[in-house]
Amino acid sequence: MASDGCQPVGWAGKGGFSYLLHKPESRAGESYRTAGHAQNHEGEAGPEPSSSGRDRTGTWNGPAPRGHQVEPMHAQDESRAQPNKAVNDPPHVLLPGGTKMPLLGLGTYKLQSADAVKQALELGYRHIDCATIYGNEKTVGEGLKDFIAEGRRSELFIVSKVWQDAHRPEALRKSVQQSVSDLGCGHLDLCLVHWPEAWLPGTEEPDTEVTLQQTWQAMEALVDDGLAKHIGVSNFSLRQIEEVLSYARHKPVVNQVELHPLLAQRKLVGVCLRKGVHSVAYSPLGHTGQGSEVLGNPVVAEVAAEAGKSPAQVLLKWNVQRGVAVIPKAGSEPHLRENIEGLFSWRLTWDQKAKLDALDQGKHFVNNSWHTWEDPEEGGAAKPSVVLQ
């Protein structure tokens, strides 16, 4: 059985596939021809090689490969492979059209100071995550104003989200125009549908007159008209994303969801990526008031001690290392610096990542009475255990 890199193979260091024409351990000779001849003819004289280096059977008579004598490396062996190897991972993922989305962003939920945005920009943050419902886009815009005035708008990746009472096409466009104005950014690099539920304008009552397809068509019009370079979704299940993909003219490029070791959502992340939809993790350190279950987890503390990093750095790396962008909230300079410093210059080992992976329990910290999380197995390929029931 082929190894997937998670478990050692039984033939490690033993030559592996004995039927291949490498030099067997028990045979004399230093070439394919002599090894194969000795194995098949038990000492009988074989054909003489031609001047081209091959004999009349077509077997190469040059030096036999040495690779089969080297013990194979596996994922769990990486820490002893090259312990001092420098790491310089890319700090972004590519979206369609070549747009670079930074893997570390600044979450602005409950952010109250424009200075925090300015400090973030000074430290190297370029991905700024906003939303209409946060009620602070003017404050964020104040923090961005000087940077944009310097002619550096192209360095930024600015995101906003359309709230649930603006799913109707005319309300959606008005909401995005207001966000662009408040942020002072000219256009959004990414605009998301914040939640799949639609409410009547100005209320929290379900809006049964607008469909998700109509909302998505209004999102596509934003791209057509230059108000947004890319569009995506947030808090969508795999089934809902597949629904949007089935009729989308401009495909969603991002699904922003809660992701941390206690809520890995591996199927959602993996299947979406294969469909061209990148995952962005909100609450990557846990949620306000409940974060100690994640940030204060003993396993996280153990891995942090092993890696010589803080628990927050370990949690951010856990997502980033699997290609998931993170948008932690941070309002103070020390926390902003802690989150970004050296994030792309080290990696969790296989053993460390396995410890964190084992924490998964499908636990959401962000829950609302008006939203029911769908079965994570809905959508994509069904598990054999489900199919065979």
Q: Give catalytic residues, as residue numbers.
A: 134
Which residues are CB-contacts of 18 (< 8 A; sequence separation ≥ 6)?
Answer: 24
- The residue among 95, 75, 38, 381 whose CA lies nearest residue 242 is 381
DSSP character for 373? P
- Measured N-to-C along each axis, helices 298-307 and 311-320 cross at an angle, to the nearest 10 degrees, of 90
Q: Give, in order, the Cα–Cα distances in Å from 136 to each of 71, 108, 158, 197.
A: 57, 8, 14, 23
Q: Residue 191 in contact with residue 228, Cβ under 8 Å?
A: yes
DSSP character for 310? -
DSSP character for 35? H
Question: Sign of dihedral through CA atoms 222, 224, 225, 228?
Answer: positive
Q: Residue 239 in contact with residue 378, Cβ under 8 Å?
A: yes
Which two three-digit tokens encode residue 247? Answer: 């009729």
Which helix (H) or strand (E) is 170 found in, with range? helix 169-183
- Measured N-to-C along each axis, helices 266-274 and 238-247 cross at an angle, to the nearest 10 degrees, of 20
- The residue among 242, 210, 286 whose CA lies nearest residue 378 is 242
Q: Residue 285 in contact with residue 291, Cβ under 8 Å?
A: yes
Phi, psi angles (nearest 5°) of residue 283: 50, 45
